[in-house]
Amino acid sequence: MFPGPLGHSLAGRALEHGTWALETLDIRSFARDKHRSVDDTPFGGGPGMVMRPDVLDAALEAATAQAVAARGERGRAIYLSPRGRVLDQDLVKELAGERSLILLCGRYEGVDERVLEKHALEEVSLGDFVLSGGEPAALCLIDAVVRLLPGVMGNVETAGEESFERGLLEYPHYTRPAFWDGRQVPAVLLSGDHGKVRAWRLEQAEAITEARRPDLWSRYLESRPAPKVKKRRATKAAAQPSNPADDPAGTAGSNEDS
């Protein structure tokens, strides 16, 4: 499964170029018995199978040794799991700053809990849906991380220019032909007025984000610099000692309604 679809992407080109490296270990190759089994029935009963700790431990020890040999350190070790911290661009940036990462992908019902403890595995999730294995999640994580590595994106997008870098969804995009299927591209985009274009795009990105993703919208409002408020000189009568009880939520001076 690796690099799989990544081989046909930006990450694939960077992989060929040596900007990053991928080493894949087949967990089954660490099985010791003649049937090469990596799973067994769950203690306590119940459906499905669980990945064996001894086999996973051997695989993780090998991955750790390889990472240390190649990169000088293990880096963060991650178990892709629906129980984990949900991957977002903040976490992607953190991971892109690591020299090395170890990604463990589960199958069946998951892995023996003791392996997660022993190897201090962090759990990271792509979201709330059922997968048959962690590999598709690992591929998404790798794609997101690799595109942030220096030299991977080229000049296509300067850091911070994308809407998402500011915590907004994308504004609507258009390309030629200007008139297609009875539909006209918004006139402002053909006006040549770059200031107007920028303002329109911001307005669109904000409207779409507010309508579709109230969670992102709240975060965006909180992270926006507070508008400057003219201070009125206090008169003797108006002057009051500052009292925190007047602002129970502590929101004075913030911009939650802006």
- # of chain residues touching ligand 4FN (CB under 6 A): 18
3 contributes a contact to ligand 4FN by CB under 6 A: no
Beta carbons within 8 Å of 123's beta carbon, 6+ residues apart: 78, 79, 80, 81, 83, 84, 85, 116
Restricted to residues 63-92, the positions that interact with ligand 4FN (CB under 6 A) are: 80-82
55 contributes a contact to ligand 4FN by CB under 6 A: no
Residue count of the chain, please give it: 258
Residue number with CB closer to ligand 4FN (128 or 215): 128
107 contributes a contact to ligand 4FN by CB under 6 A: yes
User: Which of 131, 149, 197, 208 lies at the binding interface for ligand 4FN (CB under 6 A)?
Assistant: 131
> CA–CA separation, 124 vs 108, rounded Å?
18
Residue number with CB closer to ligand 4FN (15 or 50): 50
User: Which of 7, 48, 72, 133 lies at the binding interface for ligand 4FN (CB under 6 A)?
Assistant: 133
Residue number with CB closer to ligand 4FN (67 or 104): 104
Peptide bond into 227 cis (omega under 30): no
Number of Cβ within 10 Å of residue 154's Cβ equals 7
Q: C-beta of 188: minimal distance to ligand 4FN in Å?
A: 40
The two structure tokens encoding residue 257: 């309604």
Phi (first) and psi of residue 228, to 5 degrees: -70, 130
Q: How would you class 233 by CB atoms within 10 Å of its CB: exposed for 0-12, middle for 13-18, buried for 19 or more?
A: exposed
The residues of the shown chain that bind ligand 4FN, judged by CB under 6 A, are 80-82, 106-110, 125-131, 133-134, 137
